[in-house]
Structure formats: structure tokens, C-alpha cells
Structure 1
Amino acid sequence: MQGFFTYILIFSFVSPCQCIRLNFGTENAFYNVILFGARGDGRSDDSQAFANAWHSGCKAGGMSTLVIPAGRLFMVTKINFTGPCKAKMNIQLQGQIVAPPKVAWKAGNYWISVEYVNGLTIDGNGKGGFDGDGSTWWECRNCYRPRMLFFHACNGLTVRNLRISNSPASHVAINMCNGATLSHIFIHSPSNSPNTDGFDISYSSNILIQDSNIKSGDDCIAVNGGSIFINATRVICGPGHGISVGSLGRNGVRETVSNVHVLNCTFIRTSNGARIKTIPGGSGYAKQITFDQIILENVMNPIIIDQEYSLTRATNVQVSFVTYRGFRGTSASDVAINLVCGGKTSSTCRNAHGTARNTIPYVPCLLK
């Protein structure tokens, strides 16, 4: 049954030219993958041409721009853009990059990885993008499916105006990065595609995702262990599993997340809205987390804290200083607010401390 609710809830818990312009110094040099042998016919493997163009630009001085021109379909089997680079690197992705089907996959955890490159800018100009051909993977639920884009140890990263679709697993993974802005990203995979998170963030700081639209078969954004100062603003999520902090504490490890701010986001027919999830047996904390000014349209679990995620044993991951403010919209279930925080259960809350004002439905089970 669909119900309408509004509330404020606060918790406190313990195309450049085809040429290569070699302009030295502070000017920009362009490295067009076509001139390094890429065919752009959607069938030939252009991986080596991409690698050669990147290597040439990376080792140059000044500023280098890797150009992937419009009107072409570039099939690549695997790419690793590696630094550190002497040049400040840019990528102009005006064409389309497509993955091979599963039968032609080359071993590895990621399809396209960018590692140890500081100050990188990737701009899709609103037309360029990636397609991971995930439909050839999704039926094999027990297969290890590679992630699509992986950014590791890239500080001062800017990614904008990209279309990313049909990843075998998560679409964009951000690991050990400090200072990244990802804006105007359109991610699209079917709602039944398994584990196709939009963004997975881990061990990173000062990450901003803004003005983006995410349709996936899993979390639109997952904020995982080791992350601090993570912001999501003006993100439309749905279908998918919402925006999640966690899972934290998997395999009994200690994991921490703090200073997460989700602002002016919209959830449309998602299985969850604002979610925090911890794994029994682990330790650590999730704290200073705010979900603010959220619009909901037919969301199954608009607000959910689940400290018994996957199992039913107690958790040592502490959740504290959590704020839900300015939610409005509709719930697809009778339980719009579900708080499972360990200990004995009263109504839908367990050992949950905080205050609730002007809520529909009322939350009588919070402890002062």
C-alpha cells in the first residue's frame, strides 16, 4: 500500500583536429587515438592504440589531451591508463567505447582502470560514453564479473558529461582518491542487472557526485569503508537500491565512514532510499551522516538502518549522529521508517536513540 509521509528525523547513536599538435611548455598537445592506429569500427581491438596514445601524452611536458573522436565506436578489450604523468592529462571522450562480450573478455578485475594520475579531467561533452556489454554477463550469477571503470589513487580528479551503461558489475569504482568531482554522469543499467552499483566509493575523501542520473540494479551510490567527506547533491536515483552507507564490517573487519552528506536527491521506485547497513561480526563506525531535502516516489524502504544486514548476529559497528531532514513523498510499503540497530526490538526500532518531530507515520519506539 502506498502512503504519504513527511518528516524531520534526527538520530544520535552510540572534436579537436585529427592531427597530433606537439606544443611544448604550458600549451596543450592533442593525441588523437586514430593517429595511433585506432580504427573505431566497433569490431577491431583498439586497446593498443589507446595505450600508445596515452603513453605518448603522459610522458610529455605541459598539458596533454587524449582525443577519442566523435562518430566512432571503439572496441577495447582492456585498458590501463597509468601514471604518474609528466603532463597534466585530459581525456576528451566524444565517441563511444564498447567492451567485448563475455567470451572475449581478458582476465582482470576491471575493464578500464586509471591509476596514480593526479589532476586528470575526463569530459564526455554530453555525448561520449562507455557501454560494458553487461547483458552477456548477467545470467552467470556465480561468475566473477569485472567492474567497468576503476579510479585508484587519482587526486584532483574531474569527470563530467559522460554516459555509462550496462556494466557487468559496478559502473564506477573510486578507491584511495582525494578530491574528486563527478558531475552530469548518466548511468543506465536494467533494474534486474545484478550488483551493478552506480558508484562504489572506498578509502577516499572529499568526493562530490552531483547533477547526475543513476539507473541500476543495485545501489546508486555505495559509500564503503575508509571514506570521509563524501557528498551527493542533486542526484536522481531509480531504479536501484538507493544511496547506501555500507555494507560495513564484512568478514569481521573494522571499517569506518564519516561525514557523508546527501542533499537534494530524488529516489524514484527504488527498493531503498536512505540506507545505512552494517554486517554482524564486524567493527568500526558510521557517523556524522546527513540525508537532507529528499524527494521520494513510491520507495519501498524510504529510511532504513539495518545493523543485521545478511545475518542475525550482533554487530559492533556503531552508528551515531545520523540526521534525516526534509523528506517528502510516497512510500511503497506500510513501514516507511525501519530502524534495526541491535538489541531488543520495539515496533520497528531497536535500541535507537533520538527524536522525531512532525512525522507521518509517527515513530513511538525511539528512546530519549
Structure 2
Amino acid sequence: MQRFNFFVIILGFISPCLCTRLNVGTENDNYNVMDYGANGDGKTDDSQALVNAWSSACKHGGTLTIPAEKSFMVTNVKFRGPCKPKIHIQFDGKIVAPPKEAWKSGDYLIYIDNLDGLTIDGNGKGGADGDGSTWWHCKNCKRPGLFHFHSCKNLKVSNIMVTNSPSGHVSVNQCNGATFSHISINSPPNSPNTDGFDISFSNNILVEDSNIKSGDDCIAINGDSSFINATGVTCGPGHGISVGSLGKVRPNDKVSDVHVRNCTFSGTSNGGRIKTKMDTDVVVSDVTFRGFTGTCSGDIAINLDCSSDGCHNILLDQNDITSTSGKKLLVICNNAYGTATNTIPSVTCLLN
């Protein structure tokens, strides 16, 4: 068991609608999925009812309501824009996926695309459950994720629960400006490839005051992403917060301006890490690890294992990591250039 209190990392590198609406609609209008034919019993396929309700909200502006104390079974629901401004989803109830054998098609349970200014808010109980246990045993299956945000701007998501995804829980792709706050993500530690957040080709993304338990990375930051911030995140179990893998698909992946502050890691295999593939052109530089305090149950506390091109301008400062068993912890440096100050265990292997 490892526990880290992590303060800063800086990385510079149609069934028909059952109701008729005659008004033009305003941002205060409410489009409750129950009014569009949803059953809310967790067993009947409510996909089309949600799509129909979204179509009305998108066209006229207003609030799509997923009511409390109801469960809506859906598969591959797509909420697409562009829409009228100030679209809101009030996520008080639960969306559930069918078991694997009843999954119809699609890569995600909910796909949200091409929206500007969308807000999603729950009551701390609303959200989605992916019934992942019916998928996890199938190693060669292409398992779906739960939420996918694509090409969105000025997105705000808060107070929702996302559990038991067959694959990743929340993915963010080609988005600019998004805040995720008070998000609870929960999957067992042995669930395969169940990243909490996957962020790629995106800018100005904030994950704050959230609790992430998964079988993989709590947050994975992938290629062509910049100004990514994680603040007040509790991570674990899981693999920690990771940049990469970089160079997996494209040899010249770029990630810059990543800041991780005031985060806690408990029972994770890593704290903060950068992952690159061998034989790529990915260069790692301008990395600061500051304010790590906690314990390590393994043998290696700090591992700076760089390619032959080296990692440059690495700074370790004010870190204090001790062994849970009291033994001496190891520090590994390969082709790593930088400085270490006020750090335990002592780092003497950095190159100048």
C-alpha cells in the first residue's frame, strides 16, 4: 500500500414524442425525459426517449432533465450540437448500460459532440453505471466507455457519479475549455483499462475536487494536450496520474503545461509519471516534482528512466518519501539531467 500527498507537478514539455410543444422555448424550459416516453425502470431501452428530449432541448434551449430515483437503460446515445446557447443537463437520476450480451453497438454509452457552453450537474447521486463486470473477463473484446466529450467548448460538469465502466469512464477529445468538479469515479482495482479520465488533443482542462478509483490511470493525459490541471483529486486505487503513453501512435506527440496540485494518492502503483514508447522522437524536459510526501511499499521511490536522448531540466525539491517497512529506498536515474534539493531519499544520480 502506498500513500502520497502530492502537491505540485509542472510539466513543460424516434418513437414519436409523446408531448407536443407549441412554444418557441426559452433557456428556462424543462425537457424531462419521462415526457418523451422514457420508462425509467432500468430494464426497458430508453435510448430513443433521451435522444428525443435532447433534440427538443437543443433546438429551443433549456434544460434536459434526467429525474431522480429513476434508472434509464440506454446504449450509444448521442447528444450532438450545435444547439441553442445555455443548454443544461440536470442529471439527478441514473443512466445504466445493459449487460454485455445486450449491448447493441457503439464505442460509448453517452457521446456528447460539438457543443459550446453545455453544463451538466447532478446531485451527487446521478450519473452512469456501465455494468462493466459483464465485460472485464473478455480480454479481446472492444469494450465501450461511458462518457465521451468530443469537440466541446466551455464545458462544465459537476456532482455526478460514474461507475463500473467496461473501459474508460470519461474521455475528453478535441475540447477547449472544460471543468470537471466533484466527480466520483469508482471501479474495482482489478478492472482492466478503466481509466478515470482520458484527455487527448485538448486544451484548458481542469479536473478538481474529485475522487477517482479505477483499475488503471486516474487521469491519463495524451498527445497534443496543453494547460491541463488536476487540483484536489484523490486517486486510488489505480495507477496514478500519467502523462502518456506518448509516441504510441504518433512519434512526435506533444504535451505541455500540465499542473497537478494538492492531490492525494492512496494504494496506487505510481504517483505522478510520464510514459513514452521506445524508439520515438518524444523529448521530455522541464519537469518539476515538488512537495511529494508519503510512503512507498516497494523498493523504488524515484525512477527517472530516460531514453538515450535524455530527460533534461528535471527538478526535484522538498520531497519526502519513506518506506513502509523502514528499509532503504532506491533511486534510479538513466540519462536524466537536472537538480535535486531537499529530497528524501537522496538523489545523487542526476547528471548536470
TM-score (norm 1): 0.85
Q: Give the gaps of 5 or more residues in structure 2.
A: 14-18
SS of match in other structure, 2:239: coil
- Map of 2:348 onto structure 1: 364
Q: In structure 2, how many angstroms separate the alpha carbons of the residues matched to 1:356 and 1:72?
A: 54
**Residue pair 1:4, 1:330 contacting (<8 A) in 2 also:** no
- Map of 1:16 onto structure 2: none
Say whether 1:203 aligns with 2:201. yes
Identity of aligned residues (%): 57
- Map of 1:220 onto structure 2: 218
| CA deviation after TM superposition for structure 1 residue 141, in Å | 1.1
Q: In structure 1, how many angstroms separate the alpha carbons of the residues matched to 2:90 and 2:2?
A: 45
**Residue pair 2:33, 2:65 contacting (<8 A) in 1 also:** yes
- Map of 1:278 onto structure 2: 276
Q: In structure 2, how many angstroms separate the alpha carbons of the residues matched to 1:176 and 1:241?
A: 24
Q: Give the gaps of 5 or more residues in structure 1.
A: 14-18, 308-313, 339-347
SS of match in other structure, 1:359: strand
| CA deviation after TM superposition for structure 1 residue 293, in Å | 3.7
Q: In structure 1, how many angstroms separate the alpha carbons of the residues matched to 2:229 and 2:80?
A: 27
| CA deviation after TM superposition for structure 1 residue 285, in Å | 3.7
Total equivalences in the alignment: 345
Q: In structure 1, how many angstroms separate the alpha carbons of the residues matched to 2:127 and 2:33?
A: 15
SS of match in other structure, 2:55: helix
Mapping of 1:88-99 within 5 angstroms? Answer: 88-99=86-97
CA 1:363 to 1:108, structure 2 compared with 1: closer, same or farther past 3 Å?
same
- Map of 2:140 onto structure 1: 142
For residues 136-172 of structure 1, what are the alpha-carbon distances to aligned partners after superposition, in whole Å with 9 as ceiling and x for unaligned?
Answer: 0000112111111100000000000011110011110
Q: In structure 1, how many angstroms separate the alpha carbons of the residues matched to 2:71 and 2:118?
A: 23
**Residue pair 2:178, 2:204 contacting (<8 A) in 1 also:** yes
SS of match in other structure, 1:271: coil
**Residue pair 1:12, 1:353 contacting (<8 A) in 2 also:** no
Q: In structure 1, how many angstroms separate the alpha carbons of the residues matched to 2:119 and 2:7?
A: 40
SS of match in other structure, 2:87: strand
**Residue pair 1:257, 1:285 contacting (<8 A) in 2 also:** no
TM-score (norm 2): 0.88
Q: In structure 2, how many angstroms separate the alpha carbons of the residues matched to 1:23 and 1:335?
A: 72
**Residue pair 2:189, 2:214 contacting (<8 A) in 1 also:** yes
| CA deviation after TM superposition for structure 1 residue 269, in Å | 1.2
- Map of 1:69 onto structure 2: 67
For residues 56-109 of structure 1, what are the alpha-carbon distances to aligned partners after superposition, in whole Å with 9 as ceiling and x for unaligned?
Answer: 11011xx41100000111111221110011242110010111101100112222
SS of match in other structure, 1:283: coil
CA 1:291 to 1:172, structure 2 compared with 1: closer, same or farther past 3 Å?
farther
- Map of 1:113 onto structure 2: 111
- Map of 1:40 onto structure 2: 40
> Is 292-301 or 158-167 further displaced after alignment?
292-301
**Residue pair 2:7, 2:290 contacting (<8 A) in 1 also:** no
Q: Which amino acid aligns with 1:37?
A: G
Q: In structure 2, how many angstroms separate the alpha carbons of the residues matched to 1:23 and 1:288?
A: 56
Say whether 1:132 aligns with 2:133. no
